[in-house]
Amino acid sequence: MATNASEVRRLHVEPIAGTLGADISGIDLSQPLDDALIAEVRQALLDNHVIFFRDQRITPEQQVAFGRRFGELHIHPYIPHREGYPEILQLQSRADGPAAMAYQSNTWHTDLTYEAEPPMACILRAVEVPPAGGDTMWNNLHAAYDALSEPMREFLDDKNAIHYIAISMPADFLEQTWSAKQVERFHELTPPVQHPVVRTHPETGRKGLFVNRNFTSHIMGLNRLESDALLAFLLQHIEQPEFAVRFHWTKDSIAMWDNRCTQHYAIIDYKSQRTMNRVTICGERPR
C-alpha cells in the first residue's frame, strides 16, 4: 500500500522523564519543513514542555529560519548577539573563566520574565561541548502547581508578583563604580513589571507557577516577611527533582523549551570551553 509523504515524515517522540522532556527523531532541521511537520513539533513541545533533537548539523541561517516558523524572534536587550546574526545569542563559558551571565544561568530560572512579554520558547544548539559535564536541567511548572494543595492553589490564583532584572545581579554589583548607570539603564529598557504568580498557558489552558529565583522580587499585597517566606517555599517546591529532566549535550544537539511553563538550570561543572547558539521566540503578556 502506498504511504503519503506526511505519514513518512511523522515525528517519533520518546519521553525521557516522568513529568517533561522528550527526544525527537524523524526530522532534519537542515531541510525545508512543511506546515504539517512544524505543527507536529509545536504539539510535541506543548505535550512535553522541552524537546531534544540530536545530530542536527545546521547553519546559523537554518536555526534562525526554524525559529521563525514559530513566531517573531526576540533580540536580547543586554547580552551581545553573534556577529552578523542579531537573532542569535552566542553563549560561551568556562568554569574557570568569565562566563556570559553565568550568575543567571546556573540558577533555576525562566528566561526574561523581567520583560512585559517574556519569550514563548527558546531553541538552543550545542556548537562546542566539554568532554564531560555541562548538562542542563528543566522543570515543569504545571506539575509544580498541580502538586500544591487546593487551598494553596486557591490562595495563589489571584496573586501577582514583581519581576526585575536587577535582583539577579551578583552580590558585589552595587559596589561597582558603574552600577548606578547600569541600574538607570535597567529602568530605561526593562523597568519592574508585574506578572501573575499563577500563569495560564495561552495554548493549553493549563495553570503553572510563574515565579523564579533570578527575577521575581516579591508578591504584591503581602508584607515583606510574608512575601519572602512564601516565595522561599514556592521556589523550593518548584525545584524538587520529581518535576525535572536532565539533558546531556553532545555536539549539534538542540533543546527547544516552552518558556511559559518551565524553568531551567545550566550546570557549570566543567573547565573546557562550552559554546551554545540560542534563538528566542517572542511571546505574549502572561495572564
Q: Any idea which residues carry the catalytic annotation?
A: 109, 111, 264, 278
Residue ranges with strand state E in 182-253: 193-196, 198-200, 207-209, 216-219, 244-247
Closest CA to 64 of 88, 33, 41, 89: 88
Per-residue pLDDT tens listing for the chain (287 residues): 344 444 544 899 999 999 999 999 999 999 999 999 999 999 999 999 999 999 999 999 999 999 999 999 999 998 888 888 999 999 988 766 554 445 567 899 999 999 999 999 999 999 999 999 999 999 999 999 999 999 999 999 999 999 999 888 877 776 787 778 888 888 899 999 999 999 999 999 999 999 999 999 999 999 999 999 999 999 999 999 999 999 999 999 999 999 999 999 999 999 899 999 999 999 999 99
Note if the pTM is more than 0.85.
yes
Do residues 276 and 91 make contact, with C-beta atoms less than 8 angstroms apart?
A: yes
* Residues comprising the chain, all counted: 287
Interior angle at CA 175, CA 170 and CA 176, nearest 5: 85
Per-residue pLDDT reduced to its tens digit, 8-61 = 448 999 999 999 999 999 999 999 999 999 999 999 999 999 999 999 999 999
Burial level of 31, CB count in 10 A (0-12/13-18/19+)? exposed
Reading the block at residue 179, the C-alpha cell is: 552600577
Burial level of 262, CB count in 10 A (0-12/13-18/19+)? buried
Q: Which domains does the chain have, with CATH numbers?
A: 11-287 (3.60.130.10)
List for the chain the helix, strand, coil content (%; round to 5). 30, 25, 45
For 92: left if phi > 0, alpha if psi spans -120 to 50, otherwise beta; the answer is: beta
